[in-house]
Amino acid sequence: MLNRYPLWKNLLIVFVLVFGGLYAAPNLYPDDYAIQLTGSRDVFQVDQPLIDKVTSALEREGIAFKSTELTDRAGLIRFNDGETQLKAKAVISQVMGDDYVVALNLAPTTPDWLTSIGAGPMKLGLDLRGGVHFLLEVDLPKAVGQKLENYASEVKGRLREEKLRYRKLESQEDGSLAVKFTNVESRDKAVELLRKEYQEFVVTADDREGSFYTVVNLTEQAIRDIETYAIKQNLTTLRNRVNELGVAEPLVQRQGRNRIVVQLPGIQDTAAAKRIIGKTATLEFRLEAKSGASSARTEVYEFRSELGRKATLEKDIIIKGDNVSNAQSSFDENGQPQVNITLDSKGGELMARTTKNAVQRRMAVLFVEDKERTVYKSVNGEQVAEKIRYQEKGIISLATIQSVLGNQFRITGLDGAGESSELALLLRAGALAAPIYFVEERTVGPSLGAQNIEMGVTSVQIGLALVLIFMVVYYRVFGVLANIALSLNLMLLIAVMSMLSATLTLPGIAGIVLTVGMAVDANVLIFSRIKEELANGLPPQSAINAGFGRAFTTILDANITTLLAAVILFAMGTGPVKGFAITLSVGIITSMFTAILVTRALVNLTYGGRQLTKLSI
């Protein structure tokens, strides 16, 4: 019988629509504006008396709140709107002081029965949800300098292995290395050795003031390679750190020669984000200097956890943090925090080679961090801000080597579980190949994001209303059925994007508006074909069947070419362009389903199996 779907096909359509409705439903529950309270250190716990203290302060100021929650590590206070949230933050910050972190947040309101089946709302982009935007600058000269330091240690080792005695090796102001030898024979052998083993070096012999020097410079290509590596490694490390933060759909990309853009949707605690993202913390493993060692080959450092305590270490670095392949925080047998370290093959080899001859000596773990501070100077009577960049190093562990170390060992002496987990995170995410500094910082508040959402929803509503009116006026009953299918298409589009954890942005909303028009376009082709078949004298039931069947090829071709264009946009574009491409691609797929199958099912239910003399189309 014409225009009747079998039962299984009707049940399949119903199942897809019900399934889509369930996974689209969480978007009906918008996030609450909230403030999150956490201790700045582990010793400051968030408990119920603290929550009561905060709520009492809010009540005194006449600030209304919806509810409070308490978890193992944090407290959460929900509010009705963003304006109240901002007022409350000022009050709570004053009450809490510096011992607690008071952060703006967005708290989910999805019912438990939906979250239990894995349903959740669409993630919103920076322009809709709010968040932070950072522009970072990579210190490329420092990257070259750090690489040169590593080469200096390697060169020293090779010269010792070849028994080529030298007086000193030092860095020059022009960025070169100069090795001073005791005689010309050793100098010439060193020149030959370094030229043979290091293609990235320009090695020259130099006689100065009666002394014999080997001067080592990096080639231009080597410098470019180091800079390129530094940018790529920093991009990888920053992406890893952002993933550790649990940010959905972040943007981390290169801008220009030495800058990186980072966008974190939904993050309002900029201090925490900057602490993790911008921290250039890494480790250096060094042996403690022997008694009576030359001051030219040693350095004195303080302990980070014990003021006034110092130790003298060798300048030579055994390995750095970039040799760490994995790091996990845990507790030792005494309940003290520690970090379990796993080195890569090169790091394990260097560690074993050094500790083989250093059993019963002490090895220090040096915590290295690049920092930046702003100082103000008076210039022509005006205060001018100047940023000073410096490096801070402190010993976190100094332990006796009991046996030869391999690629696995542990670090103790950390200041609490918070520091051990953060250090493990930074090492696990990878060390930065060069320091980075914050050039620009912007915060998009939730209130501005809410305005963007409101405007976006309004645009979808207006576009949808115009299409609905046109379809009903021009195609009558068939127009009504197409409108039902169009509404179901929007539901499925939202459901699929929610299940894919796709991020909705303003360009994504534009993609939804375009999808509305494209979904109706398929129905227009089908209905126009039905009209043509009726005009050619076919009976109504045959005209319906022919209209859906013969228009299918045209609809498929048009949608496949548009889908290909969307895929290319996604592959080649960045940021907002990707958001538009994702929404458009999903919309094309769901519109094919609703325009062809769902609309046909509704037409079948309305007209199928009946004796018809005319159609309302």
* Class of CATH domain 282-424: alpha beta
**What is the Cα 167 distance to its own chain's centre?**
48
| pLDDT(352) > 60 | yes
Query: Which of 317, 397, 299, 404 has the alpha carbon at shortest distance from 360?
Result: 404
Residues 140/227, Cβ–Cβ less than 8 Å = yes
User: In CATH, which superfamily holds the domain spanning 32-107?
Assistant: ACT domain (3.30.70.260)
Residues of the chain with CATH 1.20.1640.10: 7-26+445-607
**What is the Cα 602 distance to its own chain's centre?**
44
pLDDT, residue 159, reads 84
* 474-484: average pLDDT: 90
* 317-344: average pLDDT: 81
- Give residues with Cβ within 8 angstroms of 261, minimum separation 6: 133, 134, 135, 136, 251, 252, 253, 254, 255
Residues of the chain with CATH 3.30.70.260: 32-107
Calculate ∠ Cα 178-181-183, nearest 5°. 145
pLDDT digits (tens, 9 = 90+) for 528-538: 888 888 888 88
Cα 326 from Cα 427, distance rounded (Å)? 7
Please tell me the total number of residues recorded for the chain in this structure: 617
pLDDT range class, residue 245, cuts 50, 70, 90: low
Six-digit token string for 453: 């959402």
pLDDT, residue 3, reads 78
pLDDT, residue 98, reads 62
| pLDDT(43) > 60 | no
According to CATH, the topology of domain 7-26+445-607 is Multidrug efflux transporter AcrB transmembrane fold (1.20.1640)
pLDDT range class, residue 607, cuts 50, 70, 90: confident
| pLDDT(63) > 90 | yes
Packed helices 270-277 and 416-429: angle between N→C axes, nearest 10 degrees? 60
Across the chain, what does the average pLDDT equal? 83
| pLDDT(12) > 90 | yes
Query: Which of 14, 34, 23 has the alpha carbon at shortest distance from 113?
Result: 23
pLDDT range class, residue 299, cuts 50, 70, 90: very high
Cα 614 from Cα 612, distance rounded (Å)? 6
**252 CB burial (10 A radius; 0-12, 13-18, 19+):** buried
Residues 264/106, Cβ–Cβ less than 8 Å = no
Q: Which amino acid is at 331?
A: F
Six-digit token string for 209: 């003031």
Cα 518 from Cα 59, distance rounded (Å)? 52
* 128-147: average pLDDT: 83
* 46-57: average pLDDT: 90
- Give residues with Cβ within 8 angstroms of 485, minimum separation 6: 519, 523, 594, 595, 598, 599, 602
**Percentage of the residues of the chain whose pLDDT score is greater than 70:** 90
pLDDT digits (tens, 9 = 90+) for 174-229: 778 888 888 888 888 888 888 888 888 888 888 877 788 888 888 888 888 888 88
* 349-356: average pLDDT: 88
Residues of the chain with CATH 3.30.1360.200: 282-424
pLDDT digits (tens, 9 = 90+) for 561-596: 889 998 998 888 766 788 788 889 999 999 989 988
Residues of the chain with CATH 3.30.1370: 141-223
The pTM assigned to this predicted structure is: 0.59
Which CATH number is 141-223 given?
A: 3.30.1370
Query: Which of 223, 65, 216, 246 has the alpha carbon at shortest distance from 142?
Result: 223
pLDDT range class, residue 449, cuts 50, 70, 90: low
pLDDT, residue 11, reads 94
